[in-house]
Amino acid sequence: MYTRAARRAVPVIATNLERSQGSLLGRLAMANSSQPKRPKVVTLENMNPHVRTMQYAVRGPIVARATAIEKELAQGEKKPFPDVVKCNIGDAHALGQKPITFIRQVIALATYPELLSSDMFPEDAKARARRALSGCKNESVGSYSDSVGIEPIRQDIAAYIERRDGHPSDPNDIVLCAGASEGIRSLLKCVVAGEGKTRSGVMIPIPQYPLYSASLAEFDAVQIGYFMDEETGWSLKVSELERAVTEARKHSNPVAIVIINPGNPTGQVLNRENIEDIIKFAHRENLYIVADEVYQENIYAKGAKFHSFKKVLREMGPEYQTMELASFYSTSKGFMGECGLRGGYMEAINMDTEVFGMLKKLVSAKLCPTTLGQITMECTVNPPREGEPSYELFMQEKTAVLQALREKAKLVAETFDAVDGVSCNEVMGAMYAFPRIHLPKKAVEKAKELGMAADAFYCMRFLEEKGVCVVAGSGFGQVDGTYHFRMTILPSVEKIKEVMERFREFHSKFMEEYKD
């Protein structure tokens, strides 16, 4: 049969090599075997091509190399740096941020309710744990929750959105998810369809967070990039949206637009008029609005303010009130930084009832998001209130985190921008700087020789020489011929200062080496 024959045609030599890199057991088995070599059933050639094509730079080869270097250091290998600083991902706790006490107390209480009678815990933490447990079947976090999440938590999320926006929110529009990523992926999965010229397209910013490019590749949908304008502080121009959608309509069917605000990796914070213009654009073009608002607590620039897309939409004319909009939030960012606990939610307004039913069916096959991640979200949207015993400590911890981030945002952007051959916009929000590196032609040629993107080559050298792990701009997308990298601003102020020093040394040496 054709396909089986094709499968067997995979060169045996490759299979041997693979085997030799496999598990110890595999190797033993090989050694004992006198059988003819059998090709693998599933190979790179015949596996799912969409999985094969997708890219996810934030956890790509440079990160794997960083982890390997960490191990080499631990084994006593000498390096020209004392440690690896992983600035590749917004992983706050990994970089030293302390958890918010209240969140951890509530989770411990809900997990082990025997603690509810201990005087080690404040009453408000106990009250939140009890509230969460009241929504768990038989009051156990070990029961599956409804696939859309625990009901009192959905109510508290809606109440949070109402307080934030000054407009009603319906708990029935809320779906909890294991981190915003899972929710975003479920939504995108539902809205894309078609083949050939009618294949769905989703507009995403360039540079973008690679979850989007990866998921669209996996779902076989068309990525429609619109460029953020670096010259004007990574602003989002409607003329560029129009260019992108017009171009895309020639070969695909645009169905949705993703906006990341505050921006990742670019850190811009959209103002109200800008958001209005984007909504009007989506209305004209009949697009589903996907608002990635996971950094809504992370605003640093003077005068900047977070406006949720929903709030702005609600304050526009009646013709906009039935537009479909999904917004996402996460426990992984903000001041919480609880990445490992996997909490997040989607608020989807005006979704077609039947489509929403299908979305719920889709998430139900995954049973439910982790209950403890949901409780982390509960603590985030229903924090201690003034007068409650945990209030003071909570505010102190929250303020300290956000204050330090503000300081580091300024420090990092200004330091980068002051270096020759580097320019860096203000980090208005989120958790990243995205400096532009003006690479000499020789460096670009050298990278080409090595078969690498020029900024990936630069970042790999930075890692090997200084132990700092950042992600090349090519992983996020950028204007051709420009080069960037993304660095989180999450390490402590002292560490960030040290990282910036390592950067200055590396950069000037690199530029010297490759100067034209």
Q: Which of residues 369-408 bind a second copy (CB under 8 A)?
A: 369-373
Cβ neighbors of 202 (< 8 A, separation 6 or more) are 188, 191, 192, 212, 216, 221, 222, 223, 224, 254, 255, 256, 257, 258, 290
Shortest distance (Å) from residue 494 CB to a second copy: 15
Stretch that binds a second copy, among 248-256, 272-280, 393-401, 413-421 (CB under 8 A): 248-256
In angstroms, the Cα distances linking 260 to 159, 374, 486 are 23, 23, 15
Local structure of 200: helix, strand or coil: strand
Q: Which of residues 489-508 bind a second copy (CB under 8 A)?
A: none
Among 85, 129, 136, 245, indicate the residue that binds a second copy (CB under 8 A): 136
Match 């809320």 to its residue by tokens: 174
Among positions 126, 342, 406, 446, the unique one binding a second copy when judged by CB under 8 A: 342
In the range 169-188, which residues lie near a second copy by CB under 8 A?
169-170, 172-173, 178-179, 181-182, 185
Is 103 within 8 Å of 122 (Cβ atoms)?
Answer: no
Asked whether the beta carbons of 216 and 50 are under 8 A apart, the reply is: no
141 binds a second copy (CB under 8 A): yes
Task: Give the separation between CA 250 and CA 165, rounded to whole angstroms.
Answer: 38
Near a second copy by CB under 8 A: residue from 130, 249, 280, 504:
249
Calculate Rg over the CA atoms of the chain: 25
Site for a second copy in 266-305 (CB under 8 A): 286-288
CA-CA distance, 153 to 134, in Å (whole number)? 10
Q: Are 278 and 241 in contact (CB under 8 A)?
A: yes
Nearer to a second copy, 108 or 479 (CB): 108
- Closer to a second copy by Cβ: residue 343 or 440: 343
Specify the residue, 149 or 440, whose C-beta has the smaller distance to a second copy.
Answer: 149
Q: What are phi and psi of 366, to 5 degrees?
A: -95, 5
Q: In this complex, which beta carbon is closest to a second copy, that of residue 269 or of residue 471? A: 471
Token pair recorded at residue 292: 């990635």
Paired strand residues for 256: 202, 288
Q: How far is the CB of 502 from a second copy (least distance, A)?
A: 20
73 touches a second copy by CB under 8 A: no
Which one of residues 29, 68, 418, 493 is an interface residue with a second copy (CB under 8 A)? 29
Which residues sit opposite 133 in a β-bridge? none
Q: Among residue numbers 86 through 115, which ones bind a second copy (CB under 8 A)?
A: 89, 91-96, 99, 104-105, 107-108, 111-112, 114-115
Nearer to a second copy, 20 or 232 (CB): 20
Which of 418, 500, 415, 432 lies closest to 471, judged by CA?
432
User: Quick one: 94 or 304, whose CB is closer to a second copy?
Assistant: 94
Question: 330 or 415, CB closer to a second copy?
Answer: 330
Residue 210 interacting with a second copy (CB under 8 A): yes
Rounded-to-integer distance, Cα 190 and Cα 504, Å: 46
Total residues contacting a second copy by CB under 8 A comes to 134
Instruction: Give me the least distance between CB of 222 and a second copy, in Å please.
Output: 12
Q: Which is nearer to a second copy, 192 or 424 (CB)?
A: 192
User: Integer distance in angstroms from the first to the last C-alpha of the chain?
Assistant: 57
Token look-up 């294991």 returns 178
* One of 9, 12, 51, 450 touching a second copy (CB under 8 A): 51
* Nearest 10 degrees: Cα torsion 487, 490, 495, 498: 20
Residue that is written with structure tokens 């996020």 in the block: 476
Among 153, 202, 341, 412, binds a second copy (CB under 8 A): 341
Give the whole-angstrom CA distance, residue 479 versus residue 473.
Answer: 10
Q: Which of 134, 198, 239, 246 binds a second copy (CB under 8 A)?
A: 198
Under the criterion CB under 8 A, does residue 192 sit at the interface with a second copy?
A: yes
Among 256, 278, 443, 469, binds a second copy (CB under 8 A): 256
